[in-house]
Amino acid sequence: MALADIRSGARDETAIGEVLRTLRDRFGDRLQTGEAMRAQHAHTTTYIAGQLPDGVVFAESAEDVRTVVQIAAAHRTPIIPFGVGSSLEGHVNAPNGGISLDMSRMNRIIEVNPEDMDCTVEPGITREALNAQLRDTGLFFPIDPGANASIGGMASTRASGTNAVRYGTMRDNVIAVTAVTASGEEIRTARRARKSSAGYDLTRLFVGAEGTLGVITSVTLRLAGIPQAVSGGVCAFKTIHDACSAVIMTIQMGIPVARIELLDALQIRACNAYSGLNYPETPALFLEFHGTEAGVREQAALFADIAEECGGGTFSWETDPEARARLWKARHNAYWAALQLRPGAGAVSTDVCVPISKLAECVEETQRDIIETGLIAPIVGHAGDGNFHVLVLMDMADTLEIERAEAFIGRLNARALAFDGTCTGEHGIGQGKMRYLPLELGGSVDVMRAIKRSLDPHDIMNPGKIFDLT
C-alpha cells in the first residue's frame, strides 16, 4: 500500500524476546501475543497496512505503565500506546515491532471538581463513557471527533471535531497531563489552575505528540456547562462559496455558534440516501446553537439574516431534541453514508485545514480536482475552523486507482499549504502525513526532532511517527 510512508526500521529479535519474557513474568495473561490480538492493535481504521507489535500489555495503573516502559527501555524496545484504535493516520502501527500498551482498562474518572468545571481521568476512558458518567453534574466534555475515541488518544492527536468552533480543541481543553517518559519517570505537566505562566507549556507539548514523547497516564480536562437551550438546523446554499461566506460572516459577527458544518452536494446526496432524508442536493450548512432560550433564538435569527444575505435557502429550526438528534445522526453517519456511494469500495479519510477566507476556494478547487481525476470523494467540513475532510472511495485492488488517489491527496495537501493552511487540522501526522510535515513547517521539524531526541534518545516512544529521526 503506497499511500503512506510506512517504513520498517531495525529490530533486535533478542532484545524483544527478552522483553516479552520479562513482561510475561510480571504481567502473566495481561501480556497477549496471539496474532489476532496483535493485528487488532495494529488496526488503523482506514487504509494504512497494519504493522503488528510483538505483544500487547493491558495496563491497569500508572505503575504498570512505568514498569512496562522501564522493561522496554532497558532493551530499547518500542512502546506504542493504544486507546481504542480509532486514529486515522497509522498512529498505532509498530513499524519496528515492540509492545502495544493497551490503556483501555485505565478508564476511571479520578476526580470531578464541579465548581472548577474540571475533571481528571485515566487515559483509556472514552468520551461517551465520560459524558455518561458526568451527566448528573450538569457538565459535559464538549470535544466530539465523531468516533468514540479514548481521551488519551484524543489528547495525543490533538483531536477536535464538530464543535471545536465554539469549545476549542484538545489543545484548549486539556489543563494538565501526567505522563511516563522514556526514562520511566512519571511527570505532571501542570497544576489545576485555569491558567499559568510557570515555565514551558509541557501540557501543550504532550497534546499532539502522538505518544512519541511519553505515555499519558492521566488527563485533567476542562468541562463545559450543559447548555440551557440548544437549537439546530440545516440551510441549503447554491454554491460552496455562498455557504462559506455565511460561515465567515457568522464568525465575524461573534455569533457563538456551537457547530457549523459544511457538506457538499455529493455528501448531501449520500446522507439523503442513507438516512432517508430529502434535503436539496446542494451544498449545505448544518448548524447548532447553545445558550439560554433567548440566546439561541437570537443566534438563530442573526444567522437567518446572514443566510438570506448569502443566497441561502430557508431552513427549519429544530429545538425538538428528537428532530435535532435525527439531523446530527445524519451528519455523524456521513462516513457510512458516503461508503454507500460505492458499495464494496475502500475509503481514505484525509483532512486539511485552511484560513476560513480560503475555504471556499480550496474546497472548490478540490472538487474540480476530484472530477478531473475521476474519483468519487464527498467533502464534509468543520467550516468554522476552515477544516475539511475528503473521503476518497477506492477499489483497493486497483493499483492505478490507488496511484491516482495518492497523487490527488498530494495535490490536496499542497493546495492547503499554498493557502497558508495545514496538512492536518485534527487527524495528526502519524505515518500517513509524514511526507507533508516538512513542506508545511520546514526547519521547525528539526526543532521537533531535537526535542524528541532530548527526551527519548533511543527512540522507543512510538517510533516512526510524525517524522523520521534518521
Q: Which of residues 279-338 bind its own copies (CB under 8 A)?
A: 291-292, 294-295, 298, 302
Please tell me whether residue 248 binds its own copies under the rule CB under 8 A.
Answer: yes
Please tell me whether residue 259 binds its own copies under the rule CB under 8 A.
Answer: no
Residue type, 268: I
Please tell me whether residue 401 binds its own copies under the rule CB under 8 A.
Answer: no
Please tell me whether residue 420 binds its own copies under the rule CB under 8 A.
Answer: yes
The total number of residues written for the chain in this structure: 470
Please tell me whether residue 200 binds its own copies under the rule CB under 8 A.
Answer: yes
Q: How far apart are CA 4 and CA 88, in angstroms?
A: 11
Please tell me whether residue 129 binds its own copies under the rule CB under 8 A.
Answer: no
Using CB under 8 A, pick the residue from 44, 86, 181, 367 that binds its own copies: 181
Please tell me whether residue 37 binds its own copies under the rule CB under 8 A.
Answer: no
Which SS3 state, helix, strand or coil, does residue 223 take?
coil
Which cell is 283 given?
A: 451544498
CB atoms within 10 A of CB 158: 21
Q: C-alpha dihedral over 24, 182, 7, 13, to 10 degrees?
A: -40
The distance of closest approach from Cβ of residue 174 to its own copies in the complex, given in angstroms and rounded to an integer, is: 11
Chain position carrying cell 467550516: 383
Which cell is 359 given?
A: 475555504
CB atoms within 10 A of CB 446: 12
Nearest Cα neighbor of 361 from 416, 425, 311 is 416
Please tell me whether residue 127 binds its own copies under the rule CB under 8 A.
Answer: no
Binding-residue pattern over the window 422 to 451 for its own copies, x denoting contact by CB under 8 A: xxxxxxxx---x--xx--xxxxxx-xx-xx
Residue 32, H or E segment: strand 31-32
Q: How far apart are CA 368 and CA 103, in angstroms?
A: 43
Candidate ranges 58-66, 159-167, 281-289, 321-329; the one touching its own copies (CB under 8 A): 159-167
The distance of closest approach from Cβ of residue 115 to its own copies in the complex, given in angstroms and rounded to an integer, is: 4
The distance of closest approach from Cβ of residue 401 to its own copies in the complex, given in angstroms and rounded to an integer, is: 27
The distance of closest approach from Cβ of residue 380 to its own copies in the complex, given in angstroms and rounded to an integer, is: 16
Please tell me whether residue 11 binds its own copies under the rule CB under 8 A.
Answer: no
Please tell me whether residue 453 binds its own copies under the rule CB under 8 A.
Answer: yes
Which cell is 119 given?
A: 475533571
Q: Give the binding-site size for its own copies (rule: CB under 8 A).
A: 94
Q: Binding to its own copies (CB under 8 A): which residues in 341-380?
A: 353-357
